[in-house]
């Protein structure tokens, strides 16, 4: 199992061509999802929401072990941006 995960990580790193950052589009997505989460009474850490917003804006997959916060965010996204790892 560790070998499979190591291969996934190496493949992911090999495909990195640039670092994605917060921009106007991801900021807009952040605000929209933050408002939706507030309306529904669900809270998530701001950094989780910032990272998710950048992934959503750039249509890239965010790999995480966080099964609590990111699925909450994903529920308000049109793009399925998370891949949960054990």
pLDDT in tens, 22-61: 999 999 999 999 999 999 999 899 999 999 999 999 998 8
Average pLDDT rounded to a whole number, residues 59-72:
89
| Residue 35 lies in domain | 19-84
pLDDT reported for residue 45: 95
How far is it, in rounded angstroms, from Cα 17 to Cα 8?
Answer: 16
Average pLDDT rounded to a whole number, residues 1-25:
82
Query: Residue 1: inside a domain, yes or no?
Result: no
Query: Residue 9: inside a domain, yes or no?
Result: no
How far is it, in rounded angstroms, from Cα 6 to Cα 80?
Answer: 23
Query: Residue 25: inside a domain, yes or no?
Result: yes
Which residues, in sequence order, are bridge partners of residue 83? 63
Mean pLDDT, the chain, integer: 89
What's the number of domains the chain is made of? 1
pTM score: 0.75
What CATH number is given to the structural domain containing 58? Answer: 3.40.50.1010
């Amino acid at each position: 199992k560790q070998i499979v995960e190591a291969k996934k990580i190496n493949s992911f790193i090999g495909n990195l061509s640039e670092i994605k950052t917060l921009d106007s589009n991801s900021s807009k997505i952040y605000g929209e999802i933050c408002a939706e989460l507030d309306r529904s009474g669900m809270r998530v850490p701001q950094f989780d929401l910032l990272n998710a917003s950048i992934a959503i804006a750039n249509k890239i997959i965010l790999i995480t072990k966080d099964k609590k916060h990111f699925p909450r965010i994903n529920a308000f996204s049109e793009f399925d941006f998370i891949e949960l790892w054990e």
